[in-house]
């Protein structure tokens, strides 16, 4: 049928009105424009980089970094090469993202659930939390947490001390096992707190900011998901004498999750990307290390390629993970 | 004792909400105590310990940055025009009678808003210890806003509908005029972008990005749903790349790598570069919102329009997009709000937006330890701006709701 | 339209390339860009009293700023034809390399890797301030030497040589420490004053400058140890040698003027003296009465007169901004002229 129409039109309609030619033409023009632009930009890039003596090279990755990183999961010192520094930064980012994800999910779920509470006050607090936090920029919240809240903590002997836990201006110190199986609490050595487990205030500020901010968005996702479950489900469960919490856990949540999980995916990815704001509170994440590296080596283009691909991979990883979870929670068709 | 007083309905409601069971009661009481403690602590800090001089002394810096003082009358003029336009639009949006309801001049929420506005206008300039002349100007601006709101609400019905339709066009015209007023040209002294700062720069960057990301986002969304593979994959690639990268890396890229990509001297001023990065960033997110709106439009609509003989462009413009954008409106406004918040990242690349200005102010050792006051003020400002955007969008949403407006008039 | 605009851009770019300075015979893309633009864009710190600082009147002042103004005077005869751009330590090289700023006058230490074509690819002008890295601590902390900092947090601006020197010195001493790195000086000193670290490290001049602005400067002490050599030097990129030369000899002119006793106040008198007396060959060449030094650099032939007339000589700039005539009251120290036993030495103008 289509062929006959086209055959007809080929005889009677000029080519510029041919329904088969136009799309090809449009695409060709767009492709041409894009290609010219890319060629133009790349040409300039190569010319400018050659002029500056900075043509793409990756050898610098193996040179010693020369700077220290204060808080790393992977051991790092100034003598190790740049790629180890970047890796340490990446691991620091992943650490912040992982803890942030868990924290934000817990906080968000609690706040989302609270907006269905029978207690009006609790509902109000959940509402205020969401509306307050979502309308204030994350960066502002981060610097607030760091420069206002955490840096006004007491220091040294005046620090907040609980059994096995010390909260000081320099960080949170927790008791734990050291040198094998010896239980060691935080202690003040030479005016500096020491403990087996230590979280710096920079990490603390970043985490608090990320958790509180993402928590508000996740609360909305959870609330939307639960609200999408028909009211009849609640009423039916209540009429069967099932308690509120059991209803929520066994009847409502499994249905709500199908709506919630895709929304969570978006929030998780934006949390991962927002972790790059760590640079504002002095936590050495991937972005911060990359910026220092760029500055010490001058390899702007290479460092940016690495940085952008690292974040893309991180996002992709979260997406794949959440797609897996999504599969698990979807209705099994029988 | 015997005659239990009958509880007033409010009290009964209170009991149901807060004390429906012993557990609930304990929870409520502890929450009330907690809230009380926090509130008392905050008030004692705000009126006792806090010193708001840092805001009072630097209020001009926060508002407009280093904008030359002898040219600031242009910003006042712009503020007045904006107030007038806001008043007009507000009046038309809320008070004009519609086929489904008779117009009330002052709906309840509007009365509340006006009271808050007037009280704010009376109190804030005084609290900031502004000069008497500047206080007076603020009062006049608010008076103008309320006056226009009243006039639009009162006389909207009398106006010919053709004139009423022109009011939305006021905004783009005002935007262009504002650009001229801010940057100079057409006989006005040029004020280079490096001298814009504070709230002015924040709002300018945000509004620029919001306006421009919209058409780009719609085109990307259409491209992503296009049948032409090249367009589709190009759009997908762009959207996913931008959405995968943190904004700060893109902003830094725009500031420092763009120079490598363009021949010397062609790269725009850094403030515009940042604004363009924000635009392209937001466009990718907006495209996704619009795409979800597009998929909510049944394919039959498109087919029906085409079969009636409408061209592809007409179909999109008159049938598909109006429906899709209405569905996408809440998500889009969400994007706009986060765009407004994202302007704070300009401070990380050394631009003096609201947060950047705040950080330079606090670098001044004279204001050491005053960060709480500054950050709180900024938070309130941002909250108000974002909440206003949210409120406006909800009003617009109701206005566009097909269930309240019969299509034929 | 869509097709055409990249072409327009392309054409403009090509034309821009062809229109390179044809007057002086000096081929410099950068200088023709600057001339066309009508102003110099100079990267500075912007928050460092004495070096580059924005006063409450919104005007920049400082030693680094005066170098920019000198260059603007050299190019345009007008020290005000310069736009200052505040740069972080971590963005400065990228900004310079990408052409965002024409030159850097931002208390930047000259090092091999920053200079080398295989490193940052900068091209350094003469050093305008010989400095050394120091450490500042609160007086009450009782810290007397670097070793006392063992295990303690130290605030440092990221992307600086001081960050690297600190790592080196601490490794040498075998002292473990916690570096707390911030993107900007603001944050670094806020964290220090907020008590987050017990020490902050930077160039000694910078520490002195910041301390002078603290609410109670006497409560902070500089450790006597000097961690490194920090020759603070203006820079351009390797991409344009002619432009780098113009900057280099403009800075030398400031130093030579001090050596010859030419000041902002007497430069006009010196000029008429040189014009009147043919035997003052050195002075005549230096002030552009004779010869074509300016044109060889692609600058006006009387650039020295313009520069000194605008900002004074090196000694005047030093005294006005960081020396005894300023709030910092730094001693000239090794920044004296070579004749007085210092390191400031201009090669001959001939």
B198-400 folds as MetI-like fold (1.10.3720)
Residue of C187, C190, C193, C243 for testing the chain B interface, max B β-carbons within 10 Å: C190
Task: Report the alpha-carbon distance of residue B273 to residue B293 in Å, rounded.
Answer: 30
Residue with tokens 């999109």: B316
pLDDT for residue B95: 67
The answer to whether C217 faces chain B, any CB pair under 8 Å, is: no
C147 and C219 fall within a common domain? yes
Instruction: Reduce the secondary structure of chain A to three states and give it as a string.
Output: CHHHHHHHHHHHCCHHHCCCHHHHHHHHHHHHHHHHHHHHHHHHHHHHHHHCCCCCCCHHHHCECCCCCCCCCCCCCCCCEHHHHHHHHHHHHHHHHHHHHHHHHHHHHHHHHHCCCCCHHHHHHHHHHHHHHHCCCHHHHHHHHHHHHHHHCCCHHHCEEECCEEEECCEEEECEEECCCEEECCEEECCEEECCEEEEHHHHHHHHHHHHHHHHHHHHHHHHHHHCCCHHHHHHHHHCCCCHHHHHHHHHHHHHHHHHHHHHHHHHHHHHHHHHHHHHHCCCCHHHHHHHHHHHHCCHHHHHHHHHHHHHHHHHHHHHHHHHHHHHHCCCCC
Nearest to A38 by CA among C10, B394, B199: C10
pLDDT for residue C255: 95
Instruction: Say yes or no for a CB contact (<8 Å) between C163 and A291.
Output: no
The answer to whether C90 faces chain B, any CB pair under 8 Å, is: no
Task: Report the alpha-carbon distance of residue C261 to residue C267 in Å, rounded.
Answer: 9
C242 and C159 fall within a common domain? no
Residues from chain C that touch B258, judged by Cβ atoms under 8 A, are: 98
pLDDT for residue A87: 93
Residues from chain B that touch A125, judged by Cβ atoms under 8 A, are: 31, 35
Specify the higher pLDDT residue, C81 or A174. Answer: C81
Query: Which residue on chain A is closest to C193 by alpha carbon?
Result: A151
The answer to whether B372 faces chain C, any CB pair under 8 Å, is: no
Chain A neighbours among C 83-122 (CB < 8 Å)? 89-94, 97-99, 113-114, 117-121
Residue of A38, A40, A143, A149 for testing the chain B interface, max B β-carbons within 10 Å: A143
The answer to whether C3 faces chain A, any CB pair under 8 Å, is: yes
Write out the residue range of the structural domain in which residue C269 sits: 23-129+232-340
Taking CA atoms, C188 is separated from A9, A183, B406, C170, C176, in Å, by 73, 36, 61, 19, 20
Specify the higher pLDDT residue, B264 or A216. Answer: A216
C34 and C119 fall within a common domain? yes
Task: Report the alpha-carbon distance of residue B354 to residue B383 in Å, rounded.
Answer: 13
C125 and C143 fall within a common domain? no
pLDDT for residue C312: 94
pLDDT for residue B264: 61
Boundary-marking domain end, from C228, C245, C279:
C228
C153 and C212 fall within a common domain? yes
Taking CA atoms, A171 is separated from A152, A155, A196, in Å, by 12, 9, 13
Residues from chain B that touch A110, judged by Cβ atoms under 8 A, are: none
C275 in a domain, yes or no? yes
pLDDT for residue B309: 83
Residues from chain A that touch B347, judged by Cβ atoms under 8 A, are: 139
Question: Mean pLDDT across the stretch C125-154?
Answer: 90
C72 and C146 fall within a common domain? no
The answer to whether A233 faces chain C, any CB pair under 8 Å, is: no
Please list the alpha-helical segments (H only) found in B270-370.
270-296, 299-307, 312-314, 321-342, 354-363
Boundary-marking domain end, from C173, C203, C228:
C228
Name the phi and psi angles at C306, rounded to 5: -60, -45
C152 and C112 fall within a common domain? no
Instruction: Say yes or no for a CB contact (<8 Å) between B192 and C83.
Output: yes
Residues from chain B that touch A277, judged by Cβ atoms under 8 A, are: 248, 345, 348
**Per residue in C108-125, pLDDT tens?**
999 998 898 877 889 999
**Residue in B228, B342, B375 nearest the CB of A27:** B228
Q: How many folded domains does chain C comprise?
A: 2
Instruction: Say yes or no for a CB contact (<8 Å) between C90 and A32.
Output: no
Instruction: Say yes or no for a CB contact (<8 Å) between B383 and A23.
Output: no
Name the phi and psi angles at B373, rounded to 5: -60, -45
**Residue in A44, A122, A147 nearest the CB of B260:** A44
C110 and C258 fall within a common domain? yes
The answer to whether B388 faces chain A, any CB pair under 8 Å, is: no
**Per residue in C89-104, pLDDT tens?**
777 888 888 888 999 9
pLDDT in tens, chain B (409 residues): 445 556 677 777 777 777 777 777 888 888 889 999 999 999 998 888 878 888 888 888 888 888 888 888 888 988 999 888 888 888 877 766 555 555 677 777 778 888 888 898 888 888 877 788 888 888 899 999 989 888 887 777 777 777 777 777 888 888 888 888 888 777 778 887 878 888 999 999 998 999 899 899 999 998 888 888 888 888 999 998 898 899 999 998 888 777 778 776 566 778 888 999 999 999 999 998 888 888 888 888 888 888 888 888 888 888 888 888 888 888 888 889 999 999 999 988 888 889 988 888 887 767 777 888 899 999 999 999 898 888 878 877 777 776 654 443 3
Specify the higher pLDDT residue, A202 or A15. Answer: A202
C315 and C169 fall within a common domain? no
List the end-to-end C-alpha distance of chain A, in Å, as a whole number: 39
The answer to whether B216 faces chain A, any CB pair under 8 Å, is: no
C236 and C143 fall within a common domain? no
C6 in a domain, yes or no? no
Name the phi and psi angles at C180, rounded to 5: -110, 115
Asked if pLDDT for residue A43 goes beyond 60, the answer is: yes
C14 in a domain, yes or no? no
Any idea what the CATH number is for the domain that residue C321 is in? 3.40.190.10
Task: Report the alpha-carbon distance of residue A155 to residue A172 in Å, rounded.
Answer: 11
Chain B neighbours among C 46-75 (CB < 8 Å)? 47, 58
Question: Mean pLDDT across the stretch C268-272?
Answer: 93
Specify the higher pLDDT residue, A333 or B141. Answer: B141
**Per residue in A102-136, pLDDT tens?**
999 999 999 998 888 878 888 899 999 999 999 99
C220 and C280 fall within a common domain? no
pTM for the predicted model, two decimal places: 0.83
- Is ipTM > 0.95 here? no
**Per residue in B324-364, pLDDT tens?**
888 888 888 888 999 999 999 998 888 888 998 888 888 77
Nearest to A262 by CA among A321, A312, A211, A310: A321
How many CA atoms lie less than 13 Å away from B285 in the CB half-sphere? 25
C110 and C248 fall within a common domain? yes
Asked if pLDDT for residue A180 goes beyond 80, the answer is: no
Residues from chain B that touch A119, judged by Cβ atoms under 8 A, are: 17-18, 20, 24, 27-28
C10 in a domain, yes or no? no
Q: What is the mean pLDDT of chain C?
A: 86
Would you list the domain boundaries of chain B? 69-95+107-191, 198-400
Which chains form contacts with chain C, at 3 or more CB pairs under 8 Å? Answer: A, B
pLDDT for residue C25: 59
Instruction: Reduce the secondary structure of B82-151 to three states and give it as a string.
Output: HHHHHHHHHHHHHHCCECCECCCCCCHHHHHHHHHHHHHHHHHHHHCCCCHHHHHHHHHHHHHHHHHHHH
Residues from chain B that touch C31, judged by Cβ atoms under 8 A, are: none
Angle at B273 between CA B272 and CA B276, to 5 degrees: 85
Instruction: Say yes or no for a CB contact (<8 Å) between A29 and C190.
Output: no
């Amino acid at each position: 049928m289509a062929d006959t129409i086209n055959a007809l039109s080929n005889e009677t309609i000029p080519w510029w009105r041919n329904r088969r030619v136009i799309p090809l033409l449009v695409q060709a023009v767009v492709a041409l424009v894009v290609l010219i632009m890319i060629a133009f930009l790349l040409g300039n890039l190569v010319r400018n980089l050659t002029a500056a003596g900075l043509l793409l090279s990756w050898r610098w990755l193996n040179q010693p970094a020369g700077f220290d990183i204060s808080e790393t999961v992977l051991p790092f010192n100034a003598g190790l090469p740049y790629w180890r520094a970047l890796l340490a930064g990446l691991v620091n980012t992943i650490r912040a993202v992982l803890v942030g994800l868990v924290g934000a999910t817990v906080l968000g779920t609690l706040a989302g659930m609270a907006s269905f509470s029978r207690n009006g006050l609790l509902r109000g607090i959940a509402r205020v939390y969401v509306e307050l936090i979502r309308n204030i920029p994350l960066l502002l919240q981060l610097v607030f947490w760091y420069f206002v809240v955490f840096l006004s903590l007491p220091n040294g002997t005046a620090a907040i001390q609980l059994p096995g836990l010390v909260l000081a201006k320099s960080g949170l110190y927790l008791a734990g096992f050291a040198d094998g199986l010896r239980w060691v609490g935080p202690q003040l050595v030479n005016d500096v707190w020491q403990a087996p487990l230590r979280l710096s205030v920079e990490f603390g500020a970043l985490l608090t900011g990320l958790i509180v901010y993402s928590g508000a968005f996740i609360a909305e996702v959870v609330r939307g998901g639960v609200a999408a479950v028909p009211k009849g489900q609640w009423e039916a469960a209540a009429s069967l004498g099932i308690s509120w919490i059991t209803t929520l856990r066994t009847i409502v949540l499994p249905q709500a999750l199908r709506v919630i999980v895709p929304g969570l995916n978006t929030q998780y990815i934006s949390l991962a990307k927002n972790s790059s704001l760590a640079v504002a509170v002095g936590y050495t994440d991937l972005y911060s290390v990359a910026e220092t590296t760029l500055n010490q080596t001058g390899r702007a283009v290479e460092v940016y390629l690495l940085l952008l691909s690292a974040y893309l991979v991180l996002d992709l990883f979260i997406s794949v993970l959440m797609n897996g979870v999504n599969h698990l929670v979807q209705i099994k068709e029988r | 004792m015997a005659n239990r007083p009958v509880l007033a309905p409010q009290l009964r409601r209170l009991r149901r909400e807060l004390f429906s069971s012993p557990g609930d009661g304990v929870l409520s009481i502890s929450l009330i105590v907690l809230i009380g403690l926090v509130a008392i602590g905050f008030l004692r800090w705000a009126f006792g310990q806090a010193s708001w001089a840092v805001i009072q002394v630097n209020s001009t810096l926060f508002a407009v940055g280093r904008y030359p003082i002898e040219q600031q009358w242009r910003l006042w003029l712009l503020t007045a025009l904006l107030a007038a336009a806001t008043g007009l639009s507000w009046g038309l949006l809320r008070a004009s009678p519609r086929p489904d309801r008779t117009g009330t001049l002052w709906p309840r929420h509007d009365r509340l808003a006006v009271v808050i506005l007037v009280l704010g206008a009376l109190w804030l300039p005084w609290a900031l210890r502004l000069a008497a002349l500047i206080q007076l100007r603020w009062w006049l601006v608010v008076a103008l806003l309320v006056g226009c709101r009243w006039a639009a609400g009162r006389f909207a019905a009398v106006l010919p509908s053709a004139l009423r339709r022109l009011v939305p066009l006021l905004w783009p015209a005002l935007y262009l005029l504002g650009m001229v007023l801010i940057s100079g040209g057409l006989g006005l002294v040029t004020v280079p972008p490096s001298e814009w700062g504070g709230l002015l720069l924040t709002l300018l960057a945000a509004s620029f990005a919001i306006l421009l990301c919209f058409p780009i986002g719609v085109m990307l969304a259409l491209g992503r749903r296009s049948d032409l593979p090249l367009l589709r994959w190009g759009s997908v690639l762009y959207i996913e790349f931008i959405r995968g990268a943190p904004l700060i890396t893109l902003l830094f890229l725009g500031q420092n790598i763009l120079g490598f990509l363009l021949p010397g001297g062609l790269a725009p001023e850094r403030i515009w570069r940042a604004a363009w990065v924000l635009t392209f960033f937001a466009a990718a997110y907006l495209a996704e919102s619009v795409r979800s709106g597009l998929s909510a439009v049944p394919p039959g609509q498109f087919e029906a329009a085409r079969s009636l003989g409408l061209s592809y462009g007409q179909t999109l413009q008159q049938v598909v997009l109006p429906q899709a954008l209405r569905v996408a409106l809440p998500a889009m406004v969400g994007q706009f709000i986060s765009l407004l918040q994202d302007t704070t990242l300009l401070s990380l690349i050394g631009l003096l937006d609201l947060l950047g200005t705040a950080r330079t102010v606090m670098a001044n050792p004279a204001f050491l330890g005053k960060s709480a006051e500054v950050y709180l003020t900024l938070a309130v400002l941002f909250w108000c701006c974002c909440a206003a955007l949210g409120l406006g969008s909800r009003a617009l949403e109701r206005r566009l709701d097909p269930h309240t407006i019969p299509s034929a008039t | 339209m869509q097709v055409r605009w990249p072409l327009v851009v392309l054409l403009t770019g090509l034309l821009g390339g062809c229109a390179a300075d044809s007057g002086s015979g000096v081929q410099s893309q950068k200088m023709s860009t600057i001339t066309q633009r009508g102003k110099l864009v100079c990267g500075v710190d912007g928050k460092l009293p004495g070096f580059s600082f924005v006063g409450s009147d919104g005007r920049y002042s400082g030693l680094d700023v005066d170098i920019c103004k000198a260059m603007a005077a050299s190019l345009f005869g007008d020290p005000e034809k310069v736009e200052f751009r505040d740069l972080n330590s971590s963005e400065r090289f990228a900004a310079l390399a990408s052409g965002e700023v024409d030159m850097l006058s931002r208390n930047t230490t000259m090092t091999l890797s920053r200079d080398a074509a295989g490193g940052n690819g900068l091209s350094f002008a003469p050093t305008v301030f010989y400095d050394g890295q120091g450490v500042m601590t609160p007086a009450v902390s009782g810290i007397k030497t670097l070793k006392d900092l063992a295990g303690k947090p130290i605030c440092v601006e990221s992307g600086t040589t001081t960050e690297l020197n600190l790592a080196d010195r601490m490794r040498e001493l075998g002292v473990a420490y916690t570096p707390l790195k911030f993107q900007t000086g603001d944050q670094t000193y806020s964290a220090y004053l907020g008590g987050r670290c017990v020490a902050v490290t930077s160039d000694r001049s910078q520490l002195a400058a910041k301390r002078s602005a603290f609410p109670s400067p006497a409560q902070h002490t500089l450790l006597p140890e000097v961690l490194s050599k920090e020759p603070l030097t203006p820079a351009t990129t390797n991409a344009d040698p002619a432009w780098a030369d113009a900057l280099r000899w403009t800075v030398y002119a400031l130093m030579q003027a001090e050596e010859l006793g030419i000041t902002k106040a007497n430069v006009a008198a010196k000029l008429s003296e040189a014009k009147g007396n043919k035997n003052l060959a050195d002075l005549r060449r230096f002030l552009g009465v004779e010869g074509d030094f300016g044109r060889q650099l692609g600058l006006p032939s009387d650039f020295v007169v313009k520069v000194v007339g605008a900002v004074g000589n090196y000694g005047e700039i030093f005294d006005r901004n960081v020396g005894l005539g300023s709030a910092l009251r730094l001693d000239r120290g090794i920044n004296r002229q070579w004749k007085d036993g210092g390191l400031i030495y201009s090669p001959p103008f001939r």
